[in-house]
Structure 1
Amino acid sequence: MAMQRRFAVAHEDVFPKGAFLKGEVEPVADFNGPKREDGSRPQQLDKDTGLPLWQVVVLDADEEAGKKDTAVTVKIAAKFQPVPPANKTPFPWTPIEFVGLTALPYVDDNGTRPRLAWSYKADDLCEPGKADVPTSARPDAGSAAA
């Protein structure tokens, strides 16, 4: 079998020490689409599913992650804005786990030297350890699968 462009990866393989939500779930702006009357951009749609794209920035807790890899953006294709789990920690960052995580390697040539970089997309996000629980049965339900 030939390697497909985007391939499935386990959350714990990408974030072995955990991922922490930094900020909010935001729509991905479509910079190729026409501006609206108010000057804003429409929301980008996923090329594979046609669903609206959302994005989150997560902090990778792995001490071995390089400085360019500490904050990672993950896109989520979902009809409705995904709802992150409640933050039950005393810290400002919410621990999360991605469901249906995929990766796409590419060459980032924006710096002084080209480097291998990764684009991540997920089906949903949830509380760590709850990825195997059906969305409708999770306490943080109401997210992407609605």
Structure 2
Amino acid sequence: MAVQGPFKVAFGDVFPFGAFVKGGVEAVRDFDRSTRENFVQARDKDTGELVWAVEVLDADPESKGTFKVKLSAPVQPLVPEAPAGFPFVPVEFNGLMVTPYVNSGTGRLAYSLKASAVRPANFKAGGGSRSGKDGGAAGKEAA
């Protein structure tokens, strides 16, 4: 099979209606190395950088709930400021990657999302995002 592991997708293909960060950036726990008393942060398998996560709301009216997008970075990424009057932060993700997997609880296909960076959304008149220049299409489920 030609596609193995994560594959690149365009932000606009995954989030055609845009995306919003709910809350801040959190460190992701390394469940194999952490103990109840000692939190150890996960590291990216490919880069060795620390792994962080943000809770995301998909602006698609048919989307259900929230999910996490993981970010790999040497230090905690900063989420842009919310515009005046917005309860959530409209964002776009650079270097968006999708990893498909079978959810062991449901037996259904799911997707884990990872990005190299988060930035303020670039909206155009009439709604939606102008982004989507890095190719591909995919669905998503909680990571």
TM-score for both structures, normalised by structure 2:
0.80
Aligned partner (choices 95, 105, 110) of residue 100 of structure 2: 105
Structure 1 distance, partners of 2:68, 2:100, is 14
Structure 1 distance, partners of 2:98, 2:84, is 28
Kindly indicate which of the two structures has a greater share of residues assigned to helix.
Answer: 1
Q: How many residues align?
A: 125
Partner of 1:45: 43
Whether the 8 Å contact between 1:15 and 1:62 is mirrored in structure 2 is yes
Structure 2 distance, partners of 1:42, 1:131, is 35
Counterpart residue identity of residue 113, structure 2: Y
Partner of 1:118: 111
Q: 1:34 to 1:116 in 2, by over 3 A?
A: closer
* Cα deviation digits, residues 12-44 of structure 1 (max 9, x gap): 1111111100111000011110438xx131100
Structure 2 distance, partners of 1:72, 1:14, is 13
Partner of 1:93: 88
Partner of 1:141: none
Whether the 8 Å contact between 2:57 and 2:67 is mirrored in structure 1 is yes
Deviation, structure 1 residue 91: 2.5
* Cα deviation digits, residues 65-88 of structure 1 (max 9, x gap): 2x2xx3121100100110011111
Unmatched tracts of structure 1, length 5 or more: 133-146
Unmatched tracts of structure 2, length 5 or more: 123-129, 133-143
Whether the 8 Å contact between 1:43 and 1:52 is mirrored in structure 2 is yes
Partner of 1:28: 28
Structure 2 distance, partners of 1:62, 1:34, is 36
